[in-house]
């Protein structure tokens, strides 16, 4: 009211006074509304839900699935929720090979219904452990009814997000990068002429995935690696670690016991960084997550050397230890902020899917017809089946893409196994620094080689392993960069720069 009277100026007659009073009330209401819209400081909460499957289900990741016989370590759906007073985001990472698009759609719906967080603000990805039962379902069907295990994972994702919301508290956030180059190797190799075998589709590749170790026929890797570890760190206002989300471009490690269920190095990293940060016994518990970066052509095998003898889980622990130590060493460089811009964009992007030629279909039918019913399928028979399945898939489908801003960090997601080249390009062109790509997010549609890598052939390019058309990769990169730029403009215009808290 005082503001209204102060603005009346000279004549204070009855009409002028009434107008001033009305103006004063309007200004007071506007000021109160604006104040309510201002950020109230960052809040964060984290939680996890157990998604370990029952024994007996098929462990996927190889050409011949095997039944789960033993639980070596539990699998989790882990969640971090961030809220800056304007926007709320939920980041979920699951210890599975991947998740179907339908599973992720249903999980985002459940999250929105249970928490009010918009489905477009929920990120869901799989770590790509090869020691878990399937949440992908029938990867060659555009849509399918969820299996009992998929429905269970949906419920547990919803539970994890709800519990993370329950744990929301005033918090600080920071980010940094580290590097661990000793465990990332490009697994696609040029070899001496005549030493690359004919592929199961009857074609001749120029490169081989996972060539013989220490072979004299090796020439050079067919692409780069990305040794960077980018991480987001969250702590309470009194310095208690709340959560950590890291991203590393390493496929998986493996070396598990026969029929074992395991979260692979992703889970071991989470355990080890928790120990290093002294966050073992907290209430609420500290939650560490490792999401998979652009590792479609990357593993941890140095093909220039013979294979060493290692015990089950030995190599996995070594990788987890070194990656955790790299993050811990970078931890003091984190600059903590008590506010951060947050934003998300989500889009279903239509792409074309590859089609086999009539000759490929006829060849596949002949191979399938000659298959012995009780014999273990050969690689040629497996790909004959895949060719026939791909031939029945729609010519176009929608791929879920997501871009997120968290402070100065830019995240982009793809529902595919993305090559390191793509990740490096995205980091170079991303308007946010640092940045990273989360693979196997919101669905699973096979590998995403670059057009240049398609020309070289190899496992990742075979029809049935790669399903989207050959020029898809540059289209997805361009679209995600557009989404990130829109996000930068939108959040920069609506949110003030975040102060640093040392």
Question: Strand 70-71 to strand 260-261: parallel, antiparallel, or no bridges (unpaired)?
Answer: parallel
191-218 burial: b if 16+ Cβ within 10 Å, else e: beeeebeebbbeeebebbbebeeeeeeb
Model confidence pLDDT, tens digit, residues 22-53 = 334 333 333 333 333 444 699 999 999 999 99
At residue 63, the pLDDT reads: 87
CA distance 115 to 119: 10
379 and 243 in one domain?
Answer: no
Q: Residue range 277-288: average pLDDT?
A: 96
At residue 121, the pLDDT reads: 98
372 and 300 in one domain?
Answer: no
Does any domain span residue 181? yes
Q: Element (H or E) spanning 421, and its range?
A: helix 420-429
366 and 348 in one domain?
Answer: no
430 and 383 in one domain?
Answer: no
Which has the closest alpha carbon to 411: 122, 134, 183?
A: 122
Domain boundaries, position 367: 358-387
Cβ contact 92:77 at 8 Å: yes
CA distance 190 to 202: 19
372 and 284 in one domain?
Answer: no
Instruction: Point out which residues pair with 198 in neighbouring strands.
Output: 204
pLDDT band at 494 (very low <50, low <70, confident <90, very high): low
CA distance 180 to 250: 10
CA distance 483 to 88: 18
Asked if residue 13 has pLDDT above 80, the reply is no
184 and 159 in one domain?
Answer: yes
For the chain, the straight-line distance linking the first and the last C-alpha, in angstroms and rounded, comes to 40
Name the domain boundary from 331, 366, 387.
387
Say which residues have a Cβ less than 8 Å from residue 19's Cβ, sequence separation at least 6.
none
CA distance 158 to 297: 32
Does any domain span residue 2? no
Name the domain boundary from 387, 407, 440.
387
Question: What is the total count of domains within the chain?
Answer: 2
Q: Classify residue 27 by burial, with Cβ atoms within 10 Å: 0-12, 13-18, 19+.
A: middle
Model confidence pLDDT, tens digit, residues 187-228 = 999 999 999 999 999 999 999 999 999 999 999 999 999 999
Cβ contact 50:156 at 8 Å: yes
400 and 317 in one domain?
Answer: yes
455 and 436 in one domain?
Answer: yes
Least confident window among 73-77, 201-205, 281-285, 372-376 = 372-376
Cβ contact 171:44 at 8 Å: yes
Question: Strand 188-191 to strand 218-221: parallel, antiparallel, or no bridges (unpaired)?
Answer: antiparallel
465 and 346 in one domain?
Answer: yes
Does any domain span residue 305? yes
438 and 306 in one domain?
Answer: yes
Does any domain span residue 186? yes
Does any domain span residue 500? no
Does any domain span residue 19? no
Omega before residue 284 within 30° of 0, cis: yes
Length of the chain in terms of residues written: 502
CA distance 121 to 350: 20
% of the chain with per-residue pLDDT over 90: 86
268 and 199 in one domain?
Answer: yes
Which has the closest alpha carbon to 438: 283, 275, 269, 249?
A: 249
Q: Which value, in Å, is the radius of gyration of the alpha carbons in the chain?
A: 26
415 and 363 in one domain?
Answer: no
Does any domain span residue 381? yes
Model confidence pLDDT, tens digit, residues 371-399 = 988 888 999 999 999 999 999 999 999 99
- Coil, strand, or helix at residue 260? strand
At residue 486, the pLDDT reads: 97
What 8-state DSSP symbol labels residue 500? P
Does any domain span residue 9? no
pTM, whole model, 2 decimals?
0.90
């Amino acid at each position: 009211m005082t503001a209204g009277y102060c603005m009346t100026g000279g004549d204070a007659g009855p009409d002028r006074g009434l107008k001033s009073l009305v103006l004063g009330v309007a200004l007071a209401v506007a000021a109160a509304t604006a104040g309510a819209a201002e950020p109230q400081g960052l809040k964060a909460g984290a939680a996890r839900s157990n998604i370990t499957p029952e024994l007996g289900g098929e462990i996927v990741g190889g050409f011949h699935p095997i039944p789960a016989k033993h639980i070596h370590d539990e699998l989790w759906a882990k969640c971090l929720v961030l809220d800056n007073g304007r926007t709320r985001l939920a980041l979920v990472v699951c210890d599975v090979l991947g998740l179907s698009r339908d599973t992720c759609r249903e999980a985002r719906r459940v999250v929105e219904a249970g928490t009010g967080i918009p489905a477009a603000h929920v990120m869901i990805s799989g770590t790509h452990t090869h020691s878990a039962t399937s949440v992908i379902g029938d990867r060659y069907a555009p849509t399918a009814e969820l299996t009992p295990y998929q429905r269970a994972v949906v419920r547990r994702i919803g539970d994890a997000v709800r519990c993370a919301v329950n744990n929301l508290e005033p918090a600080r956030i920071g980010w940094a990068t580290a590097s661990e180059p000793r465990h990332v190797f490009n697994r696609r190799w040029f070899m001496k002429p005549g030493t690359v075998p004919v592929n199961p589709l009857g074609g001749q590749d120029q490169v081989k995935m996972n060539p013989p170790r220490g072979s004299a026929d090796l020439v050079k890797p067919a692409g780069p690696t990305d040794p960077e570890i980018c991480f987001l760190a969250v702590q309470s206002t009194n310095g208690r670690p709340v959560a950590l989300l890291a991203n590393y471009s390493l496929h998986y490690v493996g070396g598990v016991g026969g029929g074992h269920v395991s979260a692979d190095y992703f889970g071991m990293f989470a355990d080890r960084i928790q120990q290093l940060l002294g966050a073992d016994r907290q209430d609420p518990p500290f939650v560490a997550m490792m999401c998979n970066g652009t590792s479609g052509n990357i593993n941890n095998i140095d093909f220039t050397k013979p294979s060493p003898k290692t015990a089950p889980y030995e190599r996995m622990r070594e990788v987890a230890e070194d990656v955790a130590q790299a993050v811990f060493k970078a931890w003091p460089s984190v600059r903590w902020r008590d506010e951060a811009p947050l934003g998300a964009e989500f889009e279903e992007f239509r792409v074309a899917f590859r089609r086999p030629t009539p000759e490929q279909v006829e060849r596949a039918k002949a191979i399938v017809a000659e298959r012995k019913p009780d014999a273990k399928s050969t690689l040629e028979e497996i790909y004959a089946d895949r060719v026939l399945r791909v031939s029945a898939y729609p010519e176009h489908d929608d791929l879920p893409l997501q871009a997120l801003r968290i402070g100065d960090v830019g995240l982009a997601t793809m529902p595919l196994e993305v090559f390191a080249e793509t990740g490096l390009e995205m980091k170079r062109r991303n308007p946010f620094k640092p940045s990273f790509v989360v693979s196997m997010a919101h669905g699973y549609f096979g590998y995403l080689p670059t057009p240049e890598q398609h020309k070289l052939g190899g496992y990742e390019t075979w029809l049935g392993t790669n399903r989207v058309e050959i020029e898809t990769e540059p289209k997805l990169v361009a679209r995600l960069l557009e989404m990130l730029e829109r996000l930068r403009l939108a959040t920069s215009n609506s949110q003030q720069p975040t102060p640093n808290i040392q």
